[in-house]
Amino acid sequence: MPRTSALECPGCPPLRALTTDVLGLVKVVEAHGKTGIPKVVETWGQPNASSCVLAASYSDHKTDPLLAVARKNGLVECLNPINGEALGITKIDQPLSLDGFLNDDHVVGLHLFKTKGIDVPSRSVSLLTCLEKGNAFLRSIPVSDAPENSTTASHITWNVCSSGKIICSSVDKSENYALFGGKGIELNMWDLGKCSKIWSAKSPPSNRLGIFSPTWFTAATFLSEDDHRKVVAGTINHQVRLYDTSAQRRPVISVDFRESPIKAVCEDLDGYTVYVGNGSGDLASFDMRTGKLMGCFIGKCSGSIRSIARHPEFPVIASCGLDSYLRVWDAKTRQLLSAVFLKQHLTNVVIDSHFSDEGSNGNTCDQQADLQVKANEGGEGPELLRSASDSSSSGHAESLAATLAEHRQHLVSIQGLVDQLKEVIPAMQMSISDLTEEVNNISSTMVDGFSVQSSTTVQCQSAGRQSGLKSIDLDPNSIARFGLCPVSITVENRH
């Protein structure tokens, strides 16, 4: 009998991803619910071959997130990733060649600065762009609701290489260092503050047969967030190489991966795992401490992988490429969680981490996000959330959402308790001892499993108590407080 039902995928956690494709469209894919099936929710832009997106960069902030895309016609656009509005446009000047014709020179690298360059008053963003022929630009463009083609914006230009073709570039987490490499260009690292080259790689010696493979880097990334000295690169000779800039110029580790050129490399949060995608659609994870292949991601992926993105909280990665599918994988078990068909050859994928499942419920989503922000800011964030954020950085963050939901449940139950307390006000006034008993009963029945220690000496002063309780309603701080410590409701009587 024919199989009538499709093979089921486990579904992925709540997730929002943006993809760009060769027709210049930006598609938003969202997954809702606990085991959501991702769907295309929005498509921005007009299909046009000349506006093919070559590179994209995403600044993943809670407020004012921004997506920058570099198109084939030389325009770099800043989009609002929430609603797709264009916020700023700039044209990359393609240098004229000697005979006066435009060079066939495309943007290959684009980076949107997240930590610096966003000055609130002037509302401008800094961009690093890099062209195929080796011209790198560092410029800031104004961002406004009415974008105009700003060519007057200040920029710093330098030349990364004199010959060859740049294919890959990357900027580290602290955004002080940039990495370039390509066909005939050894991997080199630049200090963006001084615009000077600080390190360049050296090609490995020819092998024992005397065969020397020419330099051709196709993908590169920084290995860990806090260390700019470790760099992972992929070559066309299907090698994955680890460079340590503080140790030597030749690769520390070099491992082969199958037989197609490495097309995408993406680092994990843990600082040693990298995800590697190649030209025939194989995706694998490597432990770069030992250079060991951890395992392959198997899921009928038939086309070259162009881009991989790691979710900052969940252990989830997204990959896309020429087979026009966006695939979401579990980073730990290497299982395919789900795949979405997006109809065009995809070039880039970015993940919006500040998306929560109950986006449609509005308020709760914001609360949750606020809590996260508080937790991330460190300082006085609630303990439990802080630990949650810690665990997220170590890759166990799937519990975060669950914890928050739990907290909200507790809040509801507490509120129920409070309501019941309100009901018994007259009785309280009649007999304090009766009330004490009753409250003990309620607390034991309503919030079991949660350490609510309602003090037995509940006395009442209705006005003061109510005002105190109202502030509980929707204030995220107090929610946090409730979630954090063993909640002790102490309704005091102040005569």
Partner 1 sequence: MGGGGGKRKKAEGSDVDEQETRDKKKTKKGTMLPSMIKNKEKRSVPPEKKVTRTIENTREVDETVCRPDDEELFAGNDADEFNEVLKQEVTPKILITTNRFNSTRGPAFIQELLSVIPNAHYHKRGTYELKKIVEYAKNKDFTSVVVVHSNRREPDALLIINLPDGPTAHFKLSKLVLRKDIKNHGNPTDHKPELVLNNFTTRLGHRVGRMIQSLFPQDPNFRGRRVVTFHNQRDFIFFRHHRYIFEAKEKKDDSKDKAAKSKNITQEKVIVRLQECGPRFTLKLRNLQHGTFDSKGGEYEWVHKPEMDTSRRRFFL
Q: Which residues bind partner 1 (CB under 8 A)?
A: 2-3, 6-7, 22-23, 25, 47-49, 216, 236, 260-261, 263, 279-281, 298-300, 302-304, 322-324, 341, 343-345
List of residues 6+ apart from 347 with CB closer than 8 A: 20, 21, 22, 52, 53, 54, 55, 56, 306, 307, 320
| CA neighbours closer than 13 Å in the CB half-sphere of residue 216 | 10
> Whole-number minimum distance, CB 35 to partner 1, in Å?
19
Among residues 167, 160, 193, the alpha carbon closest in space to that of 182 is found at 167
Instruction: Provide, rounded to whole angstroms, the least separation between the CB of residue 299 and partner 1.
Output: 8
Q: Residue 122 CB, nearest distance to partner 1 (Å)? A: 38
For every residue of 417-442, DSSP letters joined together read HHHHHHHTHHHHHH-HHHHHHHHHHH
Q: Which amino acid is located at 425 in the chain?
A: I
Between residues 48 and 488, which has the closer beta carbon with respect to partner 1? 48
Closest approach of partner 1 to the CB of residue 149, in Å: 24
- Write down the least CB distance from residue 344 to partner 1, Å: 6
Least spacing, CB of residue 394 vs partner 1, in Å: 32
Decide whether 153 or 298 has the Cβ nearer to partner 1.
298
Token readout for 112 is 């949107």
Give the span between the Cα atoms of 174 and 111, in whole angstroms.
13
Nearer to partner 1, 202 or 300 (CB): 300
The two structure tokens encoding residue 114: 């997240």
Cα(278)–Cα(288) distance, integer angstroms: 17
Q: CB within 8 A of 388, min separation 6: which ones?
A: 375, 397, 399, 400, 403
Indicate the residue among 59 and 285 with the shorter CB distance to partner 1.
285
For the chain, percent helix, then strand, then coil, each to nearest 5?
20, 35, 45
Cα–Cα separations (whole angstroms), residue 383 to 354, 374, 376, 486: 21, 11, 11, 12
DSSP states along 237-288? TSEEEEEETTT-SS-SEEEE-SSS-EEEEEE-TTSSEEEEEETTS-EEEEET
Q: How far is the CB of 289 from partner 1 (least distance, A)?
A: 29
Q: Which is nearer to partner 1, 7 or 209 (CB)?
A: 7
Q: How far is the CB of 30 from partner 1 (least distance, A)?
A: 18
Residues across the chain: 495
Q: Residue 271 or 303: which CB sits closer to partner 1?
A: 303
Closest separation between CB of residue 410 and partner 1, Å?
42
Looking at beta carbons only, is 78 or 301 nearer to partner 1? 301
Nearer to partner 1 by C-beta: 41 or 298? 298
Question: H-helix or E-strand containing 182?
Answer: strand 177-183
CA-based nearest residue to 393, from 380, 378, 411, 405: 378
Are the C-beta atoms of residues 73 and 51 closer than 8 Å to each other? Answer: yes
Contact (CB, 8 A) for 112 and 127? yes
Closest distance between partner 1 and the C-beta of residue 49, in Å? 4
**Min CB(304)–partner 1 separation in Å:** 3
CB neighbours of 132 closer than 8 A, spacing ≥ 6?
A: 105, 106, 107, 108, 165, 166, 167, 182
Which is nearer to partner 1, 250 or 345 (by Cβ)? 345
In the block, tokens 């880097």 appear at 217
412: amino acid identity, one letter: V
Other C-beta atoms closer than 10 Å to the C-beta of 405 total: 15
Q: Considering beta carbons, is residue 217 or 482 the nearer one to partner 1?
A: 217
Helices and strands counted in the chain (H then E) = 7, 28
Q: How far is the CB of 1 from partner 1 (least distance, A)?
A: 9
Residue closer to partner 1 by CB (options 10, 464) is 10
- The single residue listed with the structure tokens 């993406």 is 266
Nearer to partner 1 among residue 143 and residue 236 (C-beta) = 236
